[in-house]
Amino acid sequence: MQHLRWFLFFALASCASVDFSLLDQSMKDDHLVLVTAEHHVLENYFSLQEFHNDLLTECLQRDSTPYPDLIVDLDSMRFVMNKMNASRARFYNQNLKVREDLESTLKRGKKVPESVFEDLQLRLRAYNDSASAYDAEFRVYENRYRSTIEKFGIRFISHSNYAESLVARIISWEDSLSVQNLRIAAARAVLNDQGWDNRSDQFRKAYLPLSEMELNRKVLLSKLTGLNNAHNRYEVARPEEGFYVGPFIVERHDVIMVEAIFPQLDSIMGVFRSDERLFYSGIN
């Protein structure tokens, strides 16, 4: 409604008989000043509002800490924003009233008195002062909101970001798989250098931990294949969509299953190292 009133205001200018060109330009410039003064409040409120609303749809216990505090802080931000918007509306209405009065009192072709411009600048400075105060008040609630979600580990993870986190970890484990391949090849070379008959008990006993290492490598490869498949699913999903993490948030079972694989990889590598030590102790 405020922007509609502003456009109607300038539409009247085209029909005026008094020379309002300088006044209209000044008011247009002032409009940019007003919008700039409100930029942080408007941008951050609507961004946090979207985050907040989606968060609450995933929350199982809105009455539990920290959600009541988050609700209060967002409501406080909205209250401050509405006060700022009302202040700007009053500024526009005052400008419209000044212009309407001038149109009815000034003679055709006369310029707007300098005192009108001075009054406009005084009111603009007063608005800016109030806008700065509203901005400072807004940031108190905003900073408290952001501090709370950081403290409780509440965040939104988009599918694209999760896919990126997966690929970074997968690459690291693929490096571990390459290391396994090298160590298995080295162990096999050591075993072959012993010159034992492949059918002998001595060979079979020495080969047993090496066979476990090879089996371990196959298990690791299978787990990595599953992780790569999961990565591909998240990579092709809508990048702007995702999921929330935090207390009392609905669990994503697909994510839980994927994340459960990584501790398994640690265990697999631990067993591999144990089998490797056993192999070399048998050789020596």
Tokens of 102: 């001038």
Q: If you average pLDDT over residues 64-79, what whole number do you get?
A: 97
How many whole angstroms separate alpha carbon 76 and alpha carbon 15?
A: 42
Q: If you average pLDDT over residues 147-165, what whole number do you get?
A: 96
Higher pLDDT, 237 or 114: 237
% of the chain residues with pLDDT over 70 = 81
Is the per-residue pLDDT at 233 higher than 50? yes
Least confident of 29-43, 85-99, 103-117, 173-187: 103-117
102 confidence band (pLDDT: 50, 70, 90): low
Q: If you average pLDDT over residues 167-182, what whole number do you get?
A: 95
How many whole angstroms separate alpha carbon 207 and alpha carbon 199?
A: 11
pLDDT digits (tens, 9 = 90+) for 30-66: 666 667 778 899 999 999 999 999 999 999 999 999 9
Q: Which residues contact 174 (CB under 8 A, 6 or more apart)?
A: 224
pTM over 0.75: no
Q: If you average pLDDT over residues 184-205, what whole number do you get?
A: 92
Q: If you average pLDDT over residues 246-253, what whole number do you get?
A: 95
Q: Which residues pair with 249 in a beta bridge?
A: 59
